[in-house]
Amino acid sequence: MKQWFTSAELAEMRLPELPETKRNINAKATRENWDFRKRQARGGGREYPLSSLPESARVEISVREFKKEAVLEAPEKQISFVAPTETTGINIARRDARLVILSYWKKFQAETGLAVKTSEYHFAVLYNSREISNIPEWVYEAKNSISAVSLHRWRQKKKGGINALADNYGNRKGSGIIDSNEEIRQLILGMLTDFPHCSAAHVMAALRARFDRSILPSYRSVQRWLTNWKKENAQLHMAMSNPDKWRGRYQAAGGSYSEGIVRLNQLWEYDSTPSDILLSDGKRHNIVGVIDVYSRRLILHVSRTSTSTAVASITRKALINWGVPEIAKTDNGADYVSKHMCRIFASLDIEQKLCQPFTPEGKPHVERVFRTFSHSLLELLPGFIGHNVAERKDIEARRSFANRLMKQGTDPIELKITPEELQEFCDNWCNDFYSRNAHSGLGGKTPYQMVSEWTEPLKKIPDERALDVLLSEAAGNDGWRTITKKGIRVETVAYDHANLGGLEGENVRVLFDEAEFGEIYVFDENGKFICKAICPERMGVSRQEVAAARKARQKQSISEANHFVHVLVEQKSLPSLPSRGNQ
């Protein structure tokens, strides 16, 4: 955002607390001893920094510049993962919308540099007038308007986990007149925001001026409510009464995209191939990619079209292998701005930055690598190596393939290989070819070197089970299956594992990760992780060996259960069973 202004620019803006002529602005700057620097352009003169202007002028310029440039920069993040739980549909919608709104407010506050309280007010005005670009429409459907008070309250609630942002109708902590009447409660909170030290008498005067006295709480009730609220929300009250102190203590330090990418995992870019690929299984597929801009390391994932399931799968793989990014830059496609992905990014404190529609240059690194990949694909795939590249027909075929793969709306491109073979090719290309080649944008270094030379600590997910929220349930019956003597059957394929021994006949929940072909994740009815079952044929192992291991585990489980029952009977801990003749 622009930080230096000439007196002519300031006069033209017609700002509060500033004169409307160049001469008078210069005179005011001299009287008040503003900082300045010499203007380097033709004509010379002075330029004044934003920090020297009166507060109301600074705020007005910050908001105007933000609206004009439409640039949002992400603040620094701390990991605070909380997995979603079962709540009502409306609660989930409101919770997810509030998470996204808070993420955008943080970016707005960091970019403008406004005080917390001031930024909340102006952000609410911009949100309600829909002047903030890239906010998904479903967020407005769930929350069509907000207030500065709402932002304060949501920030405080989020400290208890993202589910604290969901409304719990019928299960509220307070059931008095104030808590049960949202308009009365909002007016009191509004007074606390504008007048943090207001008394119960001031609040009662405001309530009587706005509401019918028959629905108002008593003076004592207002006193008790104010006392309890200030006690339970001590930090929030400090933010209201002393926003500068709040900002100095709690505001996250923000980075600027214009300063360049200087850290590993500072920015990830996502994209998908616009055109579909028809493989030997007769089905259309798509390739989803994610690249770490600092190191240029890359992951490509073959998927049945680009959906939020595919994006979740590649995100899970990247989080496990790379760590947690600060910013995830995506386009506005439905697969990237779905409620599922917005909730995941917000839960992991990953700032999702959206590109403007129809602007592929907004994520140039992943766009460029997809084009490089498309030109390499036919040349390196088995069956194409050894062609005479001087033959015009082969050259034209490769160029046509690359252009069609990166162009939307074309007919599907046909490749006579299986999805597993294409995924293997993608993995090998990323790990053995792309990551080992020098890049001019990296100063002649390779992605592998950039990662190897990084010595600073990275944010990691300490427990892989925390990422189970990124898994998708198997098709049919919400992923529930019954363990049979041959394992677990999913879409005509049988999965097996030694840990399934002794659990035959029990119901389990099956989740999968598109990025891990041939494996499923198995959980019991209480959500406890059991094992990662495999399809032996797809994983290249012997099904007989897996079955033998499960059989041994089954024998051990039954033997232990029989021993336990015998011990209980010997200790007379079990009642004797009646004979058939007495029934």
Instruction: Give residue 582's pLDDT.
Output: 40
Question: What span, in angstroms and rounded, lies between the C-alpha atoms of 73 and 63?
Answer: 15
Q: Which of 149-158, 354-363, 559-568 reaches the highest mean pLDDT?
A: 149-158
Question: What span, in angstroms and rounded, lies between the C-alpha atoms of 388 and 375?
Answer: 16
What is the percent of the chain where pLDDT is above 90? Answer: 9
At residue 389, does pLDDT exceed 70?
Answer: no
Dihedral sign for Cα 96, 99, 104, 107, please.
negative
Whether the CB-CB separation of 66 and 1 falls below 8 Å is answered with: yes
Instruction: Give residue 440's pLDDT.
Output: 81
Question: What span, in angstroms and rounded, lies between the C-alpha atoms of 244 and 251?
Answer: 10
pLDDT bracket for residue 91 (50, 70, 90): low
Higher pLDDT, 374 or 373: 373
Higher pLDDT, 244 or 2: 2
- Whether the model clears a pTM of 0.75, i.e. scores above it, the answer is no
Weakest-pLDDT range from 85-94, 121-130, 546-555: 85-94
Question: What span, in angstroms and rounded, lies between the C-alpha atoms of 336 and 356?
Answer: 13
User: If DSSP states are collapsed to H, E and C, what string results for 459-482?
Assistant: CCCCCHHHHHHHCEECCCHHHEEE
Structural domains of the chain sorted by starting position, each given as residue range(s) with its CATH number in brackets: 4-69 (1.10.10.10), 89-250 (no CATH), 260-452 (3.30.420.10), 471-568 (2.30.30.130)
Instruction: Give residue 295's pLDDT.
Output: 92
User: If DSSP states are collapsed to H, E and C, what string results for 520-575?
Assistant: EEEECCCCCEEEEEECHHHHCCCHHHHHHHHHHHHHHHHHHHHHHHHHHHHCCCCC
At residue 391, does pLDDT exceed 50?
Answer: no
At residue 306, does pLDDT exceed 70?
Answer: no
At residue 382, does pLDDT exceed 70?
Answer: no
Higher pLDDT, 328 or 167: 328
What is the percent of the chain where pLDDT is above 70? Answer: 77
Structure tokens at 578: 């009646």
CA distances (Å), origin 162, targets 34, 78, 419, 489: 45, 14, 37, 35
- The stretch 504-526 carries a mean pLDDT of 83
pLDDT bracket for residue 408 (50, 70, 90): low
Q: Which of 68-77, 174-183, 518-527 reaches the highest mean pLDDT?
A: 518-527
pLDDT bracket for residue 71 (50, 70, 90): very low
Could you tell me how far CA 175 lies from the centroid of its own chain? 35
Instruction: Give residue 476's pLDDT.
Output: 72
Alpha helices, DSSP H, located in 348-446: 364-380, 392-405, 419-428
pLDDT bracket for residue 243 (50, 70, 90): low
Instruction: Give residue 448's pLDDT.
Output: 94
Burial class (CB within 10 angstroms; exposed 0-12, middle 13-18, buried 19+) of 494: middle
H/E stretch holding 230 reads: helix 219-232
- The stretch 348-367 carries a mean pLDDT of 77
Contacts of 225 (CB under 8 A, 6+ apart): 176, 178, 179, 188, 217
Whether the CB-CB separation of 177 and 220 falls below 8 Å is answered with: no
Backbone angles phi, psi at 325, to 5 degrees: -80, 165
Question: What span, in angstroms and rounded, lies between the C-alpha atoms of 449 and 294?
Answer: 11
- pLDDT, one tens digit per residue, over 425-476 is 889 999 988 999 998 888 889 999 999 999 999 998 877 877 776 777 676 7
- The stretch 385-409 carries a mean pLDDT of 49
CA distances (Å), origin 43, targets 6, 30, 48, 523: 12, 20, 16, 73
Structure tokens at 180: 């049960």
pLDDT bracket for residue 550 (50, 70, 90): confident
Instruction: Give residue 409's pLDDT.
Output: 56
- ∠ CA 125-127-132, nearest 5°, is 120
Question: What span, in angstroms and rounded, lies between the C-alpha atoms of 177 and 401?
Answer: 68
Weakest-pLDDT range from 193-197, 260-264, 317-321, 557-561: 557-561
Higher pLDDT, 53 or 150: 150
- 3-class SS at 487? strand
| Rg, Å, the chain Cα set | 31
Closest CA to 130 of 120, 116, 119, 143: 143
Beta bridge partners of 343: none
- pLDDT, one tens digit per residue, over 120-157 is 888 888 888 887 777 888 888 888 889 988 898 888 88
Instruction: Give residue 240's pLDDT.
Output: 63
Instruction: Give residue 385's pLDDT.
Output: 35
pLDDT bracket for residue 313 (50, 70, 90): confident
Instruction: Give residue 328's pLDDT.
Output: 92
User: If DSSP states are collapsed to H, E and C, what string results for 152-193?
Assistant: HHHHHHHCCCHHHHCCCCCCCCCCCHHHHCHHHHHHHHHHHH
Instruction: Give residue 255's pLDDT.
Output: 40
Instruction: Give residue 257's pLDDT.
Output: 39
At residue 116, does pLDDT exceed 80?
Answer: yes
- 3-class SS at 333? coil
Instruction: Give residue 583's pLDDT.
Output: 36
At residue 402, does pLDDT exceed 70?
Answer: no
